[in-house]
A and B are shown apart, each in its own frame.
Chain A
Amino acid sequence: QVQLQESGPGLVKPSETLSLTCTVSGASISNDYWSWIRQPPGKGLEWIGYIYYSGRTNYHPSLRSRVTMSIDTSKSQFSLRLTSMTAADTAVYYCAKGAGWWGYWGQGTLVTVSS
């Protein structure tokens, strides 16, 4: 079955850069879209952006200046890089398969921004 697993640091200092990786198994990372979605503690979901297997990306307008996504089809991984982290970026970060609707999600990883 399709599985996604996020990996990365659970704690990031203010102003630093967050780097997360999502490893996909049970599905080909090619010919599909792959998204990042986050959820601040006790709050709602926010779409961060997606990357197509070809490398084409689309980001949320409010995060566009700080976000970069990349994909490594040879490793079945895609990544998120978010710069200039602040406390407002504290959230559970999910990777998910698709764009428009998301049928498979990772379990999520809590990222806390604190010094």
Chain B
Amino acid sequence: QSALTQPASVSGSPGQSVTISCTGTSNDVGANDYVSWYQQHPGKAPKLMIYDVTNRPSGVSNRFSGSKSGNTASLTISGLQAEDEADYYCSSYTTNSNPFYVFGTGTEVTVL
């Protein structure tokens, strides 16, 4: 029932790329393709950025991309912009005996 592990913070200069990792186990991230990513600005509700590992909802910039390898999922932000500065959370379905959804610990992205 532990949260998925994300780095506390990542940073980059405008135009650069940053990648946020989301590490789980063979019972969650490694077991299915139900990994999603959320962007949250201060005082706002989270916004869906990626679902089912790699899919981008309509309206989300193609600068955001998702991938997965084994028990680790990743969100890459290309061409970093000031508006990308926010907290990011991953989420996954778990396949324990009582399946449920778990979020990551969250990553603060800073644009230098």
Q: Which residues of A contact B (CB under 8 A)?
A: 44-47, 49, 58-62, 64, 94, 99-103, 105-108
Q: B98 CB to closest chain A CB, in angstroms?
A: 5
B112 within 8 A of A: no
| A-chain residues with CB within 8 Å of residue B47 when the two chains form the complex | 105
Residues of B contacting A61 with CB < 8 Å?
1, 98, 100
Complex Cα–Cα for A94 and B48 (A): 14
Q: How many A-B residue pairs have CB under 8 A?
A: 56
Specify the main secondary structure of chain A where it touches its partner: loop
Asked if residues A44 and B3 are in contact (CB atoms below 8 Å), the reply is yes
Tell me which of A58, A94, A103 contacts B99 (CB under 8 A). Answer: A58
In the complex, the answer to whether A47 meets B89 with C-beta atoms within 8 Å is no
15 residue pairs from A and B, CB less than 8 Å apart: A44-B104, A45-B38, A46-B103, A47-B100, A47-B102, A61-B98, A62-B1, A64-B98, A94-B45, A99-B101, A100-B36, A101-B34, A102-B48, A103-B48, A105-B46
Interface residues on B, range: 20 to 34
A-contacting residues, B66-87, CB 8 Å? none
Which chain B residues lie closer than 8 Å to A94 at the CB level?
45-46
Residue interface mask B18-29, A partner, CB < 8 A = 1: 000000000000
Closest approach, in angstroms, between the C-beta of A97 and any C-beta of chain B? 10
Q: How far is the CB of B34 from chain A (nearest CB, A)?
A: 5
